[in-house]
Amino acid sequence: MRNVTRRLFLSAATGGLCVRLHAQDVVYQCPMDPEVRSNTPGICPRCGMKLSSHIPEPVEFPMDLTVTPRSLRAGEKAQLEFAVGDPQNAKLIEHFQIVHERLFHMFVISKDMTYFLHDHPVLGSDGKFRFELTFPKPGMYRILGDFFPDGATPQLSVKTIMVPGGSQLAPALTRDYSTRDGGNMNISLVTDPAQPYPGTKTIMSFEMNPAEGLEKYLGAWGHMLAASDDLIDMIHTHPFIADGGPQMQFNVYFPRARTYRVWVQFQRKGMVNTAYFDVPVKDLG
Amino acid sequence: MSARPKTLWMKSVALLFGVSFAGQAHDIITTKITFDREIVRLFNVHCISCHREGGTVFPLATYSEARPWAKAIAEEILTRRMPPWGAVKGFGDFRNDRGLTPEQFELIVDWEEGGAPEGEGKDIPTAPKFPEVSVPRHPADEIIVRGDLRLSRSIPLDGLWPVMVPDNADFQITAELPDGSIEPLLWLQNYKKPFGHPFLLRTPLELPAGTLVRGVPTGAIVALLPVSVPARQTGKLSMPHEHD
């Protein structure tokens, strides 16, 4: 409050100069990437979102997930219903910002990591997002919701669904950087450091071959979802460096010493290529 | 060259190349995330209730208090030793959840890795107030679970409270309801006895008679906490056209 009063007084006293000084005081930053900042309004060159002058408060918005029918069965259709609440008063949030061309991104991963889905529940007139899904087998699934309540900050919220009728084994992942056929191109991976370790930046460089015809998918050159083998850590990110050429770089901080399955998606000539790599992250020493 | 002119020369060169020195002479700042603008807001919500003057442990409320601990803070939060929550997010939904989200992890790690800069004092938010809170007590009507337990009566579940659990325990507790559905209740992970807090559901969960509560391993004890007030008074999402 004191700072605002001081600026108003200075503006009255010195007119135009202080208007410029005040403008320079304001920092506009990308809601998704806090490293992208400017002293003038604009658009983030990385994700295309409008820069905001608002200092984001790190508040978590609760997400409810209701599954119908309650007694789920593998192989049968189920409806997933997502409702986002205001953490201050529990009221339903009905207004969201578009991020990467959608209001809500959903990822579904099975405990044994053989099932991966990236799709987009649709917002109904009642303010809830819905998606019809058939779970392929019994067991545990982790559901990740990526959404941006209007006036707040981007949110990544995780839920768990247990499909009755059996269980899945946790996967025993080992290092696998072998080149993948994503559909209509091969995708290869190199990490720096070659052996990632937790808590520090891992540069993940992907090379696409052939690369002619690469297109943005949902407004980004690539999408990544990395999950620890115990499905506790879920990382959702986009390229740090990408220009439509054959190489793209993601910067990832793996939190713990586990093996992570890293799914990536790139689009070429209308086809979404999906591939995964298994990346062991080990403690130093 | 004496130390002081050498330092001034180095700072001039650094400014020339657009690199700034933090208060620590050896830091090079490579991030725009600052303590005063971003990190203190996170700490106010997740850390300062304990880490403050008059709190239970060393303070982290100001830059001078937090900066020396920046690397340790990043390590503690990445391994989930801090905040002292001890449960995996998204398995059960808790109104007293103190765990950090992936974005919050990344903000702190980016700040620390980028040289942990202070920022500008004008960005510091109002310091939070912490009213006296009573130490939670186990209710008289809690239901003790050892191993698997089939409920003989329905209970409106308000939460769970580890009573006797080994340090660094890692197990999932689920409720298999008579209609065949399975509710994930709590996934303890990296839990430590000194945490000593209950896990209170955001929305009470009706567990009918016949529900099988599973997952508490041999030697561990967890208490089920029934709701002690009517369900509609608890924190439930309110929908525009809901009829009570």
Confidence band (pLDDT; 50, 70, 90) for A73? very high
- CATH 2.60.120 in chain B is located at 143-228
- Per the prediction, chain A carries an average pLDDT of 89
Q: Which two tokens stand for residue A199?
A: 């808590």
Q: Which domains are present in chain A? A: 1-56 (no CATH), 63-163 (2.60.40.10), 180-280 (2.60.40.1930)
pTM of the model: 0.85
Nearest of A32, A59, A62 to residue A47 by alpha carbon: A32
Over residues A77-97, mean pLDDT: 94
Using a CB-CB distance cutoff of 8 angstroms, which residues of chain B are in contact with residue A142?
90
**Is the minimum CB–CB distance between B242 and chain A shorter than 8 Å?**
no
Give A48 or A17, the one with higher predicted confidence: A48
With a CB-CB cutoff of 8 Å, which residues 78-117 of chain B face chain A? 78-80, 88-91, 93, 97, 101-107, 109-110, 113
Task: Tell me what pLDDT residue A54 has.
Answer: 80
Task: Tell me what pLDDT residue B15 has.
Answer: 46
Residue A59 has pLDDT above 50, yes or no: yes
**Is the minimum CB–CB distance between B239 and chain A shorter than 8 Å?**
yes
Work out how many CB contacts closer than 8 A connect A with B: 121
Using a CB-CB distance cutoff of 8 angstroms, which residues of chain A are in contact with residue B109?
199, 253
Q: How far is B57 from chain A (nearest CA, A)?
A: 23
| Among the partner residues B80, B184, B236, nearest to A162 by beta-carbon distance | B184
Query: Which residues lie below 8 Å from residue B38, measured CB to CB, with a gap of 6+?
Result: A34, A55, A56, A58, B107, B111, B119
Confidence band (pLDDT; 50, 70, 90) for A2? very low
Tens of pLDDT, residue by residue over A105-160, are 999 999 999 999 999 999 999 999 999 999 999 999 999 999 999 888 889 999 99
Q: What is the CATH number of domain B143-228?
A: 2.60.120
Task: Tell me what pLDDT residue B26 has.
Answer: 62
Residue of B78, B104, B202, B244 best to disrupt the A interface, most CBs of A under 10 A: B78
Which parts of chain B sit beneath pLDDT 50? 1-23, 230-244
Percent of chain A with pLDDT over 90: 73
Burial of A164 (0-12, 13-18, 19+ CB in 10 A): middle
Report the residue of chain B nearest A3, measured CA to CA.
B122
Q: How many CA atoms lie within 13 A of B242 on its CB side?
A: 10
Tens of pLDDT, residue by residue over A233-264, are 999 999 999 999 999 999 999 999 999 999 99
Q: How far is B228 from chain A (nearest CA, A)?
A: 20
Tens of pLDDT, residue by residue over A175-231, are 999 999 999 999 999 999 999 999 889 999 999 999 999 999 999 999 999 999 999
- Distance (Å, whole) CA A152 – CA A56: 7
| Among the partner residues A71, A127, A160, nearest to B184 by beta-carbon distance | A160
- Distance (Å, whole) CA A95 – CA A89: 16
Q: Is there a contact between A70 and B174 if contact means CB atoms under 8 Å apart?
A: no
Confidence band (pLDDT; 50, 70, 90) for A19? very low
**Is the minimum CB–CB distance between B233 and chain A shorter than 8 Å?**
no
Task: Tell me what pLDDT residue A53 has.
Answer: 83
Q: How far is B137 from chain A (nearest CA, A)?
A: 26
Task: Tell me what pLDDT residue A135 has.
Answer: 98
Task: Tell me what pLDDT residue A62 has.
Answer: 94
Instruction: Give the ipTM.
Output: 0.86
**Is the minimum CB–CB distance between A39 and chain B shorter than 8 Å?**
no
Q: Is there a contact between B181 and A72 if contact means CB atoms under 8 Å apart?
A: yes
Cα distance between the two ends of chain A? 50
Confidence band (pLDDT; 50, 70, 90) for A33? confident
Nearest of A84, A69, A71, A34 to residue A54 by alpha carbon: A34
Residue A12 has pLDDT above 70, yes or no: no
Residue A10 has pLDDT above 70, yes or no: no
Q: Are A174 and A280 in contact (CB under 8 A)?
A: yes
Nearest of B96, B103, B120 to residue B35 by alpha carbon: B120
Q: Are A153 and A31 in contact (CB under 8 A)?
A: yes
Over residues A40-66, mean pLDDT: 85
- According to DSSP, the β-strands at A180-181 and A186-192 are antiparallel
Give A4 or A189, the one with higher predicted confidence: A189
Q: Is there a contact between A164 and B78 if contact means CB atoms under 8 Å apart?
A: no
Tens of pLDDT, residue by residue over B89-139, are 999 999 999 888 888 888 899 999 999 999 999 889 988 887 766 777 889
Q: Are A266 and A187 in contact (CB under 8 A)?
A: yes
Using a CB-CB distance cutoff of 8 angstroms, which residues of chain B are in contact with residue A238?
none
| Among the partner residues B37, B42, B180, nearest to A55 by beta-carbon distance | B37
Query: Which residues lie below 8 Å from residue A166, measured CB to CB, with a gap of 6+?
Result: A74, A137, A138, A139
Task: Tell me what pLDDT residue B234 has.
Answer: 36
With a CB-CB cutoff of 8 Å, which residues 6-25 of chain B face chain A? none
Q: Is there a contact between A83 and B237 if contact means CB atoms under 8 Å apart?
A: yes
**Is the minimum CB–CB distance between A193 and chain B shorter than 8 Å?**
no
**Is the minimum CB–CB distance between B137 and chain A shorter than 8 Å?**
no
